């Protein structure tokens, strides 16, 4: 810590404006609702408990997701189409439910309580899944268990979907809450937190893909679900045991109500003229919001803060909040509106990364999957994506950030938008390389030869490195740029981008299949890829990614005016 402070003093000329302060400067409190003490709360001492809970959640989630199609087809005897559709629906639900968890956390419960509740729901869901897998063994052989088992499976799955929806946005936000942004040391460390958060998620995915999937396939589904269930219970205990060292953010009421009041007030005051002097607008007097400044974007919303004298003669303090809002409320809505174009630009990135679970696997199935004496399943190539993430995060955090920091003078080396842009650029390279591999594969197939599947490895590695920049960067960006009362909702928006990107990929595939398969033509992506042009599809994705990158750059240069 001493060395960090010396480095920061050299870089920024200061270590901390309030070095002598015993308490944090961001308004956080401890478990007793007293101002949080720096040396005994928060920082990495608290994050170890939070990361432990997220690590066990990641093992459980991927332990179900990676092999769910196999479970539905082999145990519940669903058709391939029904199983694929049900898995897609369940995964989509898992990335939409964070909006529910974030709303409850930001409005009513706070992040800590929300995580405890949803970890408990998650554990119950895993228990139901374990019992469903063990039901044929537990029930008498003369009793039909198929319908009971099916009901238990889907009850367990959607309890897990609800549980993960409450955990994902709150753990990342609560972890970031442990660092005081007024302290240069803690501000730098907060960026590292998001890196290691994503690192542990990918390690959990790797363990699930290898160990848990092997147990489920070779030992039994009951044990394959019982292991993550026990881990989830352990994660709940670990998380609760850290409650005395957490820093807690105070709730600020319903953020959706505050935003709605701005829209209504701006509409009601649309005929009024904006004053030249900001002092004529309503400013919040509380300490937490005293530094909020009016920005120049979306000026029509500023009309919501025009002080309108109440006709009843009431004082300003008691005026109608649906007619006059504070500048702080107006700026909260502006923050969300500024983020919308950036959020939209990221959807196509996640449509590109979705190729790792769809078209890249299909490409691998048409290639020679023999490596020496081993046969490599095409789906297992995604392990290189996970390994690339796990290997590059330490390199990024411990080597690249300090190196770039010397050149830019920024805490985290790259700005958040620059980090996102690098990931988008790498996604272009990933698609262009996949297209060139497919062109080579088609040429080889035409000559009666085959291309080895290991030529796909660079695609997975490049997309994995892209995730380190963009998937991690989006979590940090939405946390930092969201209004203070909507940090969990900001994290949920990052999860929603992943879900929307996957749905966008499905829509693009549908349009391509319909447009290129007319008149009996095989289309770009037929069942026999040797008759199609998957390379055209990859080049199209690369071209659209370039346009998406240009749009991202355009909005990034105008971000915050």
- List, for residues 15-37, the tens digit of each pLDDT value: 444 445 788 888 889 999 999 99
| pLDDT mean over 429-445 | 94
* pLDDT above 80: residue 227: yes
CATH 1.20.1250.20 corresponds to the domain 338-557:
yes
Place of tokens 């537990």: 138
pLDDT, position 3: 46
pLDDT band, residue 218 (cuts 50/70/90):
confident
Mean of all residue pLDDT scores within the chain: 84
* pLDDT above 80: residue 139: no
pLDDT, position 54: 92
* pLDDT above 90: residue 269: no
pLDDT, position 554: 93
pLDDT band, residue 162 (cuts 50/70/90):
very high
pLDDT, position 80: 64
58-95 pLDDT per residue, tens:
999 988 887 887 888 888 887 765 776 787 778 878 88
Whether the Cβ atoms of residue 283 and residue 327 lie closer than 8 Å to each other:
yes
Q: What percent of the chain has pLDDT over 90?
A: 32
3-state helix, strand, coil in the chain (%, to 5): 75, 0, 25
Domain ranges for the chain: 43-245, 255-330, 338-557
Taking the C-alpha atoms of residue 169 and residue 153, their distance in angstroms, rounded to an integer, is: 25
| pLDDT mean over 429-458 | 92
Q: What is the topology classification, in CATH, of domain 43-245? A: Growth Hormone; Chain: A; (1.20.1250)
Taking the C-alpha atoms of residue 172 and residue 475, their distance in angstroms, rounded to an integer, is: 8
* Angle at which helices 146-177 and 487-516 cross, to 10°: 130
Whether the Cβ atoms of residue 318 and residue 344 lie closer than 8 Å to each other:
no
pLDDT band, residue 226 (cuts 50/70/90):
very high
Whether the Cβ atoms of residue 458 and residue 419 lie closer than 8 Å to each other:
no
Closest alpha carbon to 357 in 75, 54, 64, 65? 65
Measured on CA atoms in the order 277, 281, 286, 290, is the torsion positive or negative? Answer: negative
Query: E strands of 329-451, at which residues?
Result: 370-371, 374-375
pLDDT band, residue 188 (cuts 50/70/90):
confident
| pLDDT mean over 120-134 | 92
Closest alpha carbon to 352 in 464, 493, 193? 464
Phi, then psi, of 414 in degrees rounded to 5: -90, 150
293-314 pLDDT per residue, tens:
778 788 888 888 888 765 545 4
């Amino acid at each position: 810590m001493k060395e960090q402070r010396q480095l920061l003093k050299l870089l920024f000329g200061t270590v901390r404006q309030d070095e002598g302060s015993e308490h944090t400067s961001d308004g956080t409190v401890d478990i007793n609702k007293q101002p949080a003490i720096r040396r005994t709360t928060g920082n990495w001492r608290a994050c170890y408990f939070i990361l432990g809970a997220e690590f066990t959640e990641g093992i459980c989630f991927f332990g179900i997701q990676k092999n769910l199609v196999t479970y539905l087809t082999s145990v519940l005897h669903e058709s391939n189409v029904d199983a694929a559709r049900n898995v897609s629906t369940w995964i989509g639900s898992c990335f939409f439910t964070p909006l529910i968890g974030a709303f409850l956390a930001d409005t009513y419960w706070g992040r800590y309580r929300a995580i405890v509740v949803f970890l408990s729901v998650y554990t119950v869901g895993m228990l139901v899944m374990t019992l469903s897998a063990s039901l044929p063994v537990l029930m008498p052989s003369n009793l039909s268990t198929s319908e009971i088992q099916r009901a238990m499976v889907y009850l367990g799955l959607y309890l897990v979907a609800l549980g993960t929806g409450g955990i994902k946005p709150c753990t990342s936000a609560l972890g970031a809450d442990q660092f005081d942004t007024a302290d240069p040391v803690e501000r730098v460390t907060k960026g590292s937190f998001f890196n290691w958060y994503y690192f542990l998620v990918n390690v959990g995915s790797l363990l699930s893909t290898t160990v848990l999937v092997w147990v489920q396939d070779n030992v039994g589904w009951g044990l394959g679900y019982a292991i993550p269930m026990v881990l989830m219970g352990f994660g709940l205990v670990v998380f609760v045991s850290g409650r005395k060292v957490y820093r807690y953010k105070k709730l600020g009421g319903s953020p959706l109500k505050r935003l709605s009041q701005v829209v209504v007030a701006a509409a009601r005051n649309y005929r009024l003229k904006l004053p030249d002097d900001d002092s004529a607008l309503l400013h919040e007097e509380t300490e937490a919001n005293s530094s909020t400044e009016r920005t120049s974007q979306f000026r029509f919303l500023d009309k919501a803060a025009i002080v309108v004298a109440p006709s009843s003669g009431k004082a300003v303090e008691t005026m109608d909040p649906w007619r006059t809002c504070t500048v702080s409320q107006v700026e909260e809505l502006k923050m969300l509106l500024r983020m919308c174009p950036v959020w939209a630009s990221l959807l196509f990135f996640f449509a590109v990364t979705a190729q790792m679970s769809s078209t890249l696997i299909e490409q691998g199935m048409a290639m020679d999957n023999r490596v020496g004496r081993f046969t490599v399943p095409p789906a297992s190539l995604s392990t290189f994506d996970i390994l690339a993430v796990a290997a590059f995060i330490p390199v990024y955090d411990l080597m690249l950030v300090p190196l770039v920091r010397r050149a830019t003078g920024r805490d985290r080396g790259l700005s958040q938008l620059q980090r996102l842009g690098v990931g988008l650029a790498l996604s272009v390279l990933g698609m262009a390389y996949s297209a060139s591999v497919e062109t080579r594969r088609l040429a080889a197939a035409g000559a009666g030869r085959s291309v080895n599947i290991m030529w796909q490895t660079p695609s997975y590695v490049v997309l994995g490195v892209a995730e380190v920049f963009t998937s991690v960067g989006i979590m940090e960006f939405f946390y930092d740029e969201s209004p203070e009362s909507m940090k969990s909702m900001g994290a949920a928006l990052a999860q929603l981008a992943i879900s929307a990107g996957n749905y966008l990929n499905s829509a693009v595939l549908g349009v391509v299949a319909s447009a290129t398969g007319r008149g009996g033509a095989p289309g770009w992506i037929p069942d026999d890829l040797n008759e199609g042009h998957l390379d055209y599809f990859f080049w199209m994705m690369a071209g659209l990614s370039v346009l998406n990158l240009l749009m991202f750059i355009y909005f990034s240069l105008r971000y915050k005016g």
